[in-house]
Amino acid sequence: MGHSIEDRLILLDKTSIRVIHIPPLRTVPAIQSAVPNIDYVDCVVVHTFDGLSPAKTNPILWSPTTAVHDSPIVIRMWDPVHYRSSSVVHILDRLEDDTPRHSVVVLPLETQFIPFGMGLRRCVGLGDGRSLELVFITLNHVNESGCWTADDFKVGSLSIPHDKTHSTFAFDEVSSRVCMVMRMLDRPEDSLLIIDVKA
């Protein structure tokens, strides 16, 4: 997986986080030879994973000209040994004309899930219990200290009484709503459960 920004490319695979800085594009005259000029750029390794691998990231809004109000990239991890999501979170902050700043945060154990919805600041997923439990994680919008910690995350959960099975999920951060399609095993009918999420 990867994120493409106008001036850099951030690559994620099961081994590492890498950044490729994209040089400015040059206009080539139409009469020039068909053989293009090739710019070779270095690939900077920001972090090498040890055992865990990336599972999901949030969308990002990084401006090519300024780092003001840029949201961080939040990377949720997968533990292939125990075959479950990890509570370890990797965070990349945009730094002007430099490699992104990298932080590692360990969240509480109840956050060990793969989010079915992930926005700029919030994500939501299902807990591991038998009941229908939604687990929410909220990230502070701005961190002035320069390094993220577990205190910058707020974790909450919501248990929902029900007599149906859940089949489809969606989370829209703009409207702050979770939508879930609920299905009864003995009836060919579905119902829609909508939950308003407070900031």
Q: What is the pLDDT of residues 70-85, one digit of tens each?
A: 678 888 888 888 787 8
Parent domain of 144: 2-196
The reported pLDDT for the residue numbered 60 is: 72
CB of 182 within 8 A of CB of 189?
no
> Cα separation of 74 and 17, whole Å?
12
List of residues 6+ apart from 38 with CB closer than 8 A: none
When pLDDT is averaged across residues 134-140 and rounded to a whole number, the result is: 81
Q: Total domain count for the chain?
A: 1
| DSSP H helices in the chain | none
pLDDT of 186 over the 80 cut = no
Tokens of 30: 């139409």
> Cα separation of 32 and 187, whole Å?
69
pLDDT of 166 over the 80 cut = no
Quick: pLDDT tens for 17-41: 888 877 777 776 666 566 667 777 7
CB neighbourhood size of 121 (10 A): 16
What does the mean pLDDT of the chain come to? 77
List of residues 6+ apart from 109 with CB closer than 8 A: 87
Tell me the whole-structure pTM to 2 decimals: 0.76
SS3 111: helix
Which residue, chain included where needed, has tokens 């002035």? Answer: 144
SS3 155: strand
Residue 180's φ and ψ, nearest 5 degrees, are -135, 130
pLDDT of 199 over the 60 cut = no
List of residues 6+ apart from 189 with CB closer than 8 A: 183
When pLDDT is averaged across residues 109-128 and rounded to a whole number, the result is: 77
Any idea which of 65-69, 153-157, 163-167, 189-193 has the lowest mean pLDDT?
A: 65-69
pLDDT of 177 over the 70 cut = yes
